[in-house]
Amino acid sequence: MEAAVAEPGNLAGVRHIILVLSGKGGVGKSTISTELALALRHAGKKVGILDVDLCGPSIPRMLQAQGRAVHQCDGGWVPVFVDQEQTVSLMSVGFLLEKPDEAVVWRGPKKNALIKQFVADVAWGQLDYLVVDTPPGTSDEHMAAVEALRPHSPLGAIVVTTPQAVSVGDVRRELTFCKKTGLRVIGVVENMSGFVCPHCAECTNVFSRGGGEELARHAGVPFLGSVPLDPKLTRSLEEGRDFIQEFPHSPAFHALSAIAQKVLETPAQLS
């Protein structure tokens, strides 16, 4: 696909944009988006998270930002900063709902319009990385996000799967989506790859293992790593705590840090 010409705007100060995708629901895209952003932050980067999973905006809870207000400035909407140093900023439809349990019952055109508004009207400022958490599948919302973001910065995708064959089969379609839309795949992440025992730290392959790596090999794209199920990670997300900072000895920490390092080492290329 031909690259569009970017117009000056609120993404002018964003150096890299990463879409987190999967053809399957429940694989942990929001978990990977959140922890990748935190790992990049601890690597000294300034990071924004754009939550375009409009029907399931869970990242505000994962970052203990529920109920925060979005304010207006001359440049548009000001994202919510989740840390005192203002190194991680977040925009989500969850901030725009009157009640946190309110369902988003919108047709496609209204969803697409909000995604385009998020891209055009959020005043991100200077960011090293903008991580975009997406809903499952290859729907209109994905097309709207890719088309709106493509002109602005080097754009790439991280594709998330779990080890089971059923998940890998669905995620394979997401790689086809990336190919058809000309979206560069930074790599594949296998989430829920084994279970870390909270008592002895031994990792047991509850589902299976290796499906994500095999998928990446067949598709000819990088494999970024496997992240195990870890009760400490689950608890951190539910309580809105910084897992990367608090549990540096966890196997999940080492996996997530290695994935972030591979992302940092990925050369920027225009998609």
Binding residues for [4Fe-4S] cluster: 197, 200
Token pair of 31 as six digits = 């978990």
Look up residue 243 and give its amino acid.
F
Using the structure block, give the residue that is written with the tokens 């031909």.
Answer: 2
Look up residue 176 and give its amino acid.
T
Using the structure block, give the residue that is written with the tokens 């935190």.
Answer: 38
Cα gap 69→95, rounded to integer Å: 6
φ/ψ of 95, rounded to 5, equals -75, -15
Q: Which helix (H) or strand (E) holds 234?
A: helix 231-239
Cα gap 198→158, rounded to integer Å: 28
Summarize the annotated binding site for ATP as residue ranges.
23-30
Using N-to-C axis directions, what is the helix angle for 165-181 and 211-219, rounded to 10°?
30
Summarize the annotated binding site as residue ranges.
23-30, 197, 200
For residue 84, give every residue at least 6 positions away whose Cβ sits within 8 Å of its Cβ, in sequence order, or none. none
